[in-house]
Amino acid sequence: LDSLLEAGSASPRYDHPIVWRDEELSAILSRVILQERVGLMDNARPPRPVFAFEEINRLAHALRTAFQEASSREWIVFVLLGQEAGGPATTSGAIFVESGKLHLVIANHQLKLADDSEELAHVRANPLYSVHGSGGVLGFDAPRFVVGSKANWSGGHRASASEMILDHTAFLTYLTQTGS
């Protein structure tokens, strides 16, 4: 849990605490995709999932617990350290609910950083510290539930993170109605 202090703001900012089920968080996280940025002359690449199956399993329970403990002044931040082809890979960001919508911020995605690097130390200290940016724009494989997306500069570094705003209530209602 982390907090973003805004000068002069005494009112609650986030809709926390919230009770989630692991299955709800897994359903959402499994559909988050990243559309990679390409150059003007490059062919577009297909979007790829942000989280691997193993990462979703690790994250869902931890996020559920964090959302229950979070206050209206706190958001949930995370750093996932895993292995990608060629070595260690770091994914970091934040997640919170504001005005009834779920916000997911990815600052670093599958970024290869040495275990002893200064950049990894910065990311661990501040998961919104974006070393080179997220590498693309966040999306959702059911795009009608995406309310918006934007650059997020909360990490205070030279590169922005990617933020997606999701109508999670409508999405979870849809899943329940369709039996998915």
d(CA 167, CA 99): 10
d(CA 32, CA 30): 6
Residue 85 has pLDDT above 70, yes or no: no
Residue 7 has pLDDT above 50, yes or no: no
d(CA 147, CA 138): 12
The model carries a pTM of 0.89
Instruction: Give pLDDT, residue 126.
Output: 92
pLDDT digits (tens, 9 = 90+) for 95-137: 999 999 999 999 999 999 888 889 999 999 999 999 987 778 9
Instruction: Give pLDDT, residue 170.
Output: 97
Residue 12 has pLDDT above 80, yes or no: no
Residue 157 has pLDDT above 80, yes or no: no
Q: How much of the chain exceeds pLDDT 90, in percent?
A: 62
Nearest 5°: the CA angle 164, 29, 70 is 75
User: Strands 161-166 and 48-49, how do they pair?
Assistant: unpaired
Hey, which bits of 13-86 come out as E strands? 32-36, 48-49, 74-84
The position carrying tokens 């849809």 is 174
Greatest mean pLDDT among 34-43, 53-62, 153-162 lies in 53-62
What the block records as the tokens of 130 is 């974006």
Residue with the bigger pLDDT between 43 and 57: it is 57
d(CA 109, CA 136): 9
d(CA 153, CA 54): 28
